[in-house]
């Protein structure tokens, strides 16, 4: 089963269920303009209750890399997800492992990722002029598949229990990232939707022979 990140965590009970269901990562949004924003101290408390196999990932948008690293240290994050227009130099300057989001629009091509720092794991998400993630919009899976063949890629954007199986078959991503697809409202996860999502991932991975991949390559704490 490809590793799964449940992103936009704001409650301990949601993180604990994600861990029980097999999540490799829990994601916390530290961009103040997000409906899923969480205080670093609260995120640290939630992460401290996670079993060893679950790593924390922090989502940031065009924030000073010094602030990003400071929050990462405070919370105990294994990786930082830079979801803005951060340059390769900014990505390389982080003290944590980096997941770099690339927002794909209608006119995007596979070359859209060529300027992303080579040391980063890619996360593909759908473009939105205002929101940074959690939009529920689906990316172009044909394009995502081409990118995933070139670089290690986490697929995001509009994933739900009813489409994640097809996404795995068509894109064959390294990992999966879901937020709005398992929510009752922004920041509040729905237990039934989470269970259905993991069941669909496991079923699709078994049908396609996708091997389980270790999440520690992008998410383990230093």
* Domain range summary for the chain, segments of one domain joined by +: 4-210
pLDDT digits (tens, 9 = 90+) for 1-29: 899 999 999 999 999 999 999 999 999 99
Q: CB atoms < 10 A from the CB of 220, how many? A: 15
Q: Provide DSSP, 127-186.
A: --SS--S---PPP-HHHHHHHHHHS-EEE-SS--TTTHHHHHHHH--SEEEESGGGEEET
Residue 193 CA from chain centroid, whole number: 17
Residue in 25, 31, 30, 32 with CA at minimum distance from that of residue 7: 25
Residues present in the chain in total: 222
Q: Is the pLDDT of residue 200 over 60?
A: yes
- 40-48 and 65-75 helices cross at what angle (nearest 10)? 40
CA distance 99 to 120: 5
7 catalytic? Reply is yes
Question: What pLDDT score was predicted for residue 222?
Answer: 34
Q: CB atoms < 10 A from the CB of 174, how many? A: 20
Say which CATH topology domain 4-210 has.
TIM Barrel (3.20.20)
| Choice among 7, 14, 91, 177 that is catalytic | 7
pTM reported for the whole predicted model: 0.90
pLDDT digits (tens, 9 = 90+) for 145-178: 999 999 999 999 999 999 999 999 999 999 999 9
| Choice among 67, 69, 91, 125 that is catalytic | 125
Q: Give 107's pLDDT tier (boundaries 50, 70, 90).
A: confident
91 catalytic? Reply is no
């Amino acid at each position: 089963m490809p590793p799964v990140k449940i992103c936009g965590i704001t409650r301990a009970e949601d993180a604990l269920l994600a861990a029980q269901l097999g999540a490799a990562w829990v994601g916390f949004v530290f961009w103040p303009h997000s409906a899923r924003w969480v205080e670093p101290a609260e995120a640290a408390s939630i992460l401290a209750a996670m079993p060893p196999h679950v790593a924390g990932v922090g989502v940031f948008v065009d924030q000073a890399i010094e602030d990003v690293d400071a929050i990462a240290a405070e919370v105990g994050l294994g990786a930082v997800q830079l979801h803005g227009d951060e340059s390769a130099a900014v990505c390389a300057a982080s003290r944590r492992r980096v997941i770099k989001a690339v927002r794909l629009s209608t006119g995007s091509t596979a070359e859209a990722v060529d300027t992303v720092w080579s040391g980063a794991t890619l996360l593909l998400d759908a473009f939105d002029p205002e929101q940074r993630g959690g939009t529920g919009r689906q990316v172009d899976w044909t394009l995502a598949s081409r990118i995933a063949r070139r670089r290690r890629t986490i697929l995001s954007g509009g994933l739900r229990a009813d489409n994640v199986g097809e996404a795995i078959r068509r894109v064959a991503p390294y990992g999966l990232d879901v937020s709005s697809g398992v929510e009752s409202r922004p920041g509040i996860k729905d237990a039934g939707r989470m269970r259905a999502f993991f069941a669909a991932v496991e079923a699709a991975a078994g049908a396609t022979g996708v091997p389980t991949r270790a999440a520690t390559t992008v998410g383990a704490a230093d």
